[in-house]
Amino acid sequence: MNLKQKYTDLIKEEANRLGFMSCGISKAEFLSDEAPHLEKWLKKNMHGEMSYMENHFDKRLDPTKLVPGSKSVISLLLNYFPSQVQDQNSYKVSKYAYGTDYHFVIKDKLKLLMHFISEEIGDVHGRAFVDSAPVLDKAWAVKSGLGWMGKHTNVLTKQAGSFYFIAELIVDLDLVYDTPVTDHCGACTACIDACPTKAIIEPYTVDGSKCISYFTIELKNEIPSNVHGHFDDWIFGCDVCQDVCPWNRFSKAHSEPLFDPDPQLISMTKKDWQEITEEIFQQLFKKSAVKRTKFSGLKRNINFLKD
């Protein structure tokens, strides 16, 4: 076995030991296929008020500009599908935000993986990324053979659907690269048909500025009145396009205790949400991604549904 294969196998075995669902590797190079799509998406203002999407265009498409000397992108998936979900008659929070903020959980795992690489392989340099820098996570996951891009623009796998986080290590180490898998969406349009705000404007294109996740998390101003009545009781994020996807029949509950929801969150009624105080918000979402919308944002979202 050559060294490249040996190192690749070592990394994948350790990723599995750390609890990642899967690990795929691709060459760190310019994403030529994604460049025109990203440019068109931005020009059509589909990012709404997410102005950060306009920044670092070159770095988004070329990891060697983000991490000088990089040779490989190690893509990792971490399952977050919960074993129990909220009462569907209550206001809804996206499943990824049930437990501890994934940024913290995954960053810790990536640090351990990077430390392992340094210990076992030697002088390897790189950076860890969890949805917090100009990296096109989904594109790298697809390029690394971890799944295909669904029509809702979430990465899909036959084995587990799409309820997982994507993260990367970009390193200056030559490894054996994986190849993309084929698309298995076929003629299905379940996600497009079910989107409450018609944000999936065509297969494989989501107008971010029309998405419920955008309105409830990213948008800092008032939610426009023309989407009133189309939120399907979501107050933080939205899982509709994933919930209706046939491939998510195969989702299995995660095994990460930090992603387990607070029992209080699962049992909250609409009345509980309407009466939530800042104190309860801070206590309940102390380490949660829900903190991103702040108490004032959550109250705005609740009141928008209540009005």
pLDDT tens readout for residues 55-89: 566 777 899 998 999 999 999 999 999 999 998 89
For the residues 271-287, what does the mean pLDDT come to?
95
87: tokens are 């009462």
The CA distance from 77 to 242, in Å, is: 16
Under a CB-based contact definition with an 8 Å cutoff, are residues 177 and 76 in contact?
A: no
Is residue 255 helix, strand or coil? coil
Q: Find the distance separating the first CA and the last CA of the chain, reported in whole Å.
A: 65
Give the relative orientation of helices 3-17 and 102-121 as an angle to the nearest 10 degrees. Answer: 140
What proportion of the chain, given as a percentage, has pLDDT over 70?
A: 93
Q: What is the dihedral of CA 172, 173, 177, 181, to 10 degrees?
A: -50
Q: Is the pLDDT higher at 60 or at 166?
A: 166
Looking at residue 31, what is its pLDDT? Answer: 87
235: tokens are 């107050």
| Structure confidence by residue, pLDDT tens digits, 213-272 | 999 999 999 999 999 999 999 999 999 999 999 999 999 999 999 999 999 999 999 999
Task: Please give the model's pTM, rounded to 2 decimal places.
Answer: 0.93
Question: Residue 51 pLDDT > 60, yes or no?
Answer: no
Q: Which of the residues are catalytic?
A: 131
51: tokens are 């102005």
HSE-up of residue 101 (Cα within 13 Å, Cβ side):
16
Contacts of 42 (CB under 8 A, 6+ apart): 53, 54, 57
> What's the mean per-residue pLDDT of the chain?
92
Domain count within the chain: 1
Query: In which domain, by residue range, is 167 found?
Result: 1-307
What proportion of the chain, given as a percentage, has pLDDT over 90?
A: 84
Structure confidence at residue 135 as a pLDDT band (50, 70, 90): confident
Structure confidence at residue 204 as a pLDDT band (50, 70, 90): very high
Contacts of 114 (CB under 8 A, 6+ apart): 126, 128, 169
For the residues 121-137, what does the mean pLDDT come to?
89
Structure confidence at residue 131 as a pLDDT band (50, 70, 90): confident
Structure confidence at residue 176 as a pLDDT band (50, 70, 90): very high
